[in-house]
Structure 1
Amino acid sequence: MRHISTVQEPGSGKAAAPVLGRILRKAGTLFMAAAIALPSLTAPLAAQGRKIPVVRDAETEELLRDYAAPIFKAAGLPKGQVEIILVNENTFNAFVPDARRMFINVGVLIEAETPGEVIGVIAHEAGHIAGRHLVRLRTALANAQIMTVVGMVLGAGAMAAGVSSNSSGAAGGGAAIAMGAPGIGQRSLLAYQRGEEAAADKAALRYLEMTGQSAKGMLRTFERFADQQLFSAKYTDPYAQSHPMARERYNSLEEQARKSKYFDKPAPPALQARHDMVRAKLTAFTNHPNAVARLYPRSDTSMPAQYARAVAAMRSSGRAAVKDIDALIAKQPDNPHFHELKGQALLESGNPKAAIPSFQRAVQLRPNEGQFLIWLGYAMVGANDPSLLAEAERILKNGIQRDPNSGIAFSQLAIAQARQGKQAEADVSTAQGMMMTGDFQAAKRYAARAQKNLKRGTPAWIQADDILTYTPPALNR
């Protein structure tokens, strides 16, 4: 697992308002409607002006894809349409900003005790995509804005009438209308959002039923939210929420969920085992090694516990973790993720050449996994052996074809090309990596420099030209 990059929606650099008065003026930045987080008016991550901290882990992404595949099929979403992106946040949250991306926090996997809890989240978000809720949200935003404007115009008219008739009461009434106008639009929009959330919940139940899976995990998620809301619900206005209250959601779904013949059906043991391993891995990567030692003490000899301790050891001592990782490999020699972890431990402890065989083994076991290819190319570049550079370049290009969203891959490819004297190609690769991070101006500078030294019409020249002619999407204003 590694932190690859941050993602920020175009134009979302300014903080979105916690109230809808400002959100309505920047409707294009809003993607809070399709979130499963605790009800709030806070827009997720990038819409708050923060970049989304994306992390990559082949094992976790593979598990999420396996969770999602039957749900997406039941929802009528074409294979490959929706990309699941892992966010380095420990809170229990997931959201969809459009019909092609679903963001899931690592906190979802860490907190979820069963696969069903994660699958329920995916099913809910799939309900938003299949129901085209994000498309219809734009209409709801426009309607809410119209209601706000009309209310303010009426209020202004009442105040004008009050002034002309020298009636302070009429003027005061007009001021009240004008001041209340944003609230009219806001509550209308929130009511719409609550309806869409309820629709996504019901769609999720249908998808789970169609795929023969229990909704018990989904109910556990809402039960968790309800427990968290217990002490604040007394002071919460249910009509000022973008989501239905968690206890209401739980109660409305429980009866229907319990009617399913699959309600008491547990997850397959092999799937539960994979979930436990990923959960342990993410816990170890996102917590201090001392915390990991308390959660997974040496007395716990299970595979997830051993995995967590090996990851924690790698994070704290690097090469010293190899012994623990070798113990895992001895038990599961064909587990590619153990070989990946060993390679990462050696690479990050300053011994990239020794890491090459581990990454090669991981690639042998999963030839089409782009992240393994990128790791291997990274280690070959880091080995500082000129005889490996051409092969490293080939492997990195192969990895990018399978995983085009890796900033590290482009940076390592640039190094491999520059060391072989291919400076113009290296500039193009550097520019592509900068495009990944959203640094468009710097990317264009490198692309322009590259084009001067490339033959017109060649693949590298075309790649540079694509960067030079790229225009970031503008916000609707």
Structure 2
Amino acid sequence: MAPCNTFIARLLALVAALSLCAQPAAAQGFSVLRDAETEALLQDMVDPLAEAAGLGEGAVDVVLLNDNSINAFVAGGQRIYVHSGLINAADSANEVQGVLAHELGHITGGHINRFSEGAGNASRITLLSTLLAVGAALAGGGEAAMGVLAAGQQAAMGSFLAFSRTQEASADAASVDYLQCAGIDGAGLISFFRKLQNYEFRRNISQDQEREYSRTHPLSGNRIARLEDELAQRERGDRPPADLTAAIEEPAVPGAEVVERMPVDCRTTPRDTADLEERFQRAKAKLYGYLAPPERALNAYPEYMTGAPARYARAYAYHEQARVDKALEEVNALIAMDPDDPYFLELKGQILLESGHVNEALPPLREATRLTGSNPLIASILGHALIATEDSDNFDEAEQVLRSAVGRDRENPFAWYQLGVVYGQRGDIPRARLASAEQQIMQGNFQGALVNAQAAENGLETGSPDWIRAQDVALQARGLLERQRDRN
């Protein structure tokens, strides 16, 4: 019976490996990076592409993950996850938009919804080969059984990989359509794929055409050649703009679930991207200054560089080194460039707050909140600063800005925590428990969320909006706990 146990173990290992690929970002333990300026930039980068894809402005979210690998992916729904390593590797906003266009191709093609189809086909092949191998083993043909099993597993993985490559090629083709329709240069898509190709060369990843079958993605060289040909045909006028309205009715991959889309009006002139590019360079430097060790950030952006990106990076690096005067010197130089830039004011307030100068942090944070129309992330920092003054006279304002923040962005655990602090200081324990439940459910502590939601429900007025919300959170936490137990 030992061979059968081995077969089953291998079958389960393969099926588990295929299932792992479909897990959402939260289940894989990624750390989400939240920054008001960067999120606004990424939204402005994806919106014209989403419109070209027939999804509409604001229909697709872009989430930035703290991961230094060069990657982006979709994991269900209309949300694109981008690794911080991709932003750092990209030389321009145009390159990132090329990647976003590719990921939109996965969304509109229904590829995540069809993942189970590819995994299911592979699993069926594996199961069939396992049953045949078991029969051979029981008949006394141990070596034959192992051969059947190995061949079946190879065929199963080959089937899944071919399915994956088809989806990638489909997303590549869709990305050209979306870029062209949005009036965005496709050169960035090509240059980014060249980066990936150079990365593969450095890692000695085989570029042998005959071994493409062993990859989840087509060879980078083949993708580049196809994309260059597509773009060249469009530029020569050999191919008219894609009929994206027809694409709405017929998904790129036969059998894919159709994503609800709208008729599309393609641009006839190139889009001006100068402002977007300037904002991208700022956000890229800001991200690098925040994530990189301070010494590396200061080496990458030495003091003779006086543009906004360099000053941004150095301000974060100096702040990390607790060199408050140097950090404020950089941020004050930024504010001198543009006194009404809310993100410069936000950074000054953040540095002052985290350096213990709480009262000095309030004016720039209030102004940044006003200039952004109470952006939830910036308002959350203002709420935190108001609480940090330990002055009860500031608690009314803190509650107001924090309630506004969570009202516009419920997926903000920091704001929920600060709101809970306000309620706790006032002795409003039921609402403090409810805020804690909201925070914990977003951070994956479903048991803690359930306990706090039930306690809040017991202390709140029956039928009140907060009482109803406590029931909703408790119900959500129970469902997530059941799913967690089922997975385990």
2:87–2:284 CA contact under 8 A, matched in 1: yes
Residue 218 (structure 1) aligned with residue 165 (structure 2):
no
Residue 304 (structure 1) aligned with residue 309 (structure 2):
yes
1:128–1:134 CA contact under 8 A, matched in 2: yes
Aligned to 1:290: 295
For residues 91 and 174 of structure 1, the distance between their equivalents in structure 2, rounded to whole angstroms, comes to 40
For residues 131 and 296 of structure 1, the distance between their equivalents in structure 2, rounded to whole angstroms, comes to 41
Residue 241 (structure 1) aligned with residue 212 (structure 2):
no
Q: What secondary structure is seen at the aligned counterpart in 2 of 1:206?
A: helix
For residues 280 and 419 of structure 1, the distance between their equivalents in structure 2, rounded to whole angstroms, comes to 39
Aligned to 1:14: none
Aligned to 1:197: 168
Please give the residue correspondences for 1:436-447 in structure 2 after superposition, counting only pairs within 5 Å: 436-447=442-453
Q: What secondary structure is seen at the aligned counterpart in 1 of 2:136?
A: helix
1:209–1:262 CA contact under 8 A, matched in 2: no
Aligned to 2:231: 257
2:380–2:402 CA contact under 8 A, matched in 1: yes
1:96–1:102 CA contact under 8 A, matched in 2: yes
Residue 54 (structure 1) aligned with residue 59 (structure 2):
no
For residues 123 and 450 of structure 2, the distance between their equivalents in structure 1, rounded to whole angstroms, comes to 38
Q: Map Cα deviations across residues 276-305 of structure 1 (whole Å, 9 max, x no partner).
A: 111111111111221112111111222211
Q: Map Cα deviations across residues 79-130 of structure 1 (whole Å, 9 max, x no partner).
A: 4433211101122111111023211111222211111110011001000000
Amino acid at match of 2:353: L
Aligned to 2:415: 409
Amino acid at match of 1:202: A
For residues 93 and 438 of structure 1, the distance between their equivalents in structure 2, rounded to whole angstroms, comes to 24
Aligned to 1:10: none
Residue 187 (structure 1) aligned with residue 192 (structure 2):
no
1:31–1:96 CA contact under 8 A, matched in 2: no
Aligned to 2:397: 391
Moved more, 356-365 or 75-84: 75-84
For residues 152 and 273 of structure 1, the distance between their equivalents in structure 2, rounded to whole angstroms, comes to 57
Moved more, 367-376 or 336-345: 367-376
Moved more, 337-346 or 100-109: 100-109
Q: Map Cα deviations across residues 264-323 of structure 1 (whole Å, 9 max, x no partner).
A: 979622221111111111111111221112111111222211222122222222632222
Amino acid at match of 1:278: A
Q: Are the structure 2 counterparts of residues 77 and 22 from structure 1 closer, same or farther at C-alpha, using a change threshold of 3 Å?
A: farther
Q: Are the structure 2 counterparts of residues 380 and 176 from structure 1 closer, same or farther at C-alpha, using a change threshold of 3 Å?
A: same
Q: What secondary structure is seen at the aligned counterpart in 1 of 2:235?
A: coil
TM-score (norm 1): 0.87
Alignment length, in residue pairs?
A: 439
Residue 474 (structure 1) aligned with residue 483 (structure 2):
yes
Q: What secondary structure is seen at the aligned counterpart in 2 of 1:317?
A: coil
Aligned to 1:232: 205
2:182–2:271 CA contact under 8 A, matched in 1: no
Q: What secondary structure is seen at the aligned counterpart in 2 of 1:447?
A: helix
1:171 offset after TM fit, Å? 4.7
For residues 434 and 45 of structure 1, the distance between their equivalents in structure 2, rounded to whole angstroms, comes to 17
Moved more, 408-417 or 137-146: 137-146
Amino acid at match of 1:405: E
1:349 offset after TM fit, Å? 0.8
Q: Are the structure 2 counterparts of residues 419 and 53 from structure 1 closer, same or farther at C-alpha, using a change threshold of 3 Å?
A: same
* Structure 2 residue corresponding to 1:359, chosen from 344, 351, 365: 365
Amino acid at match of 2:159: S
Amino acid at match of 1:274: R
Amino acid at match of 1:75: A
Aligned to 1:371: 377
Identity among equivalent positions (%) equals 32
Larger RCO, structures 1/2 (Cα 8 Å, 6+ apart): 1
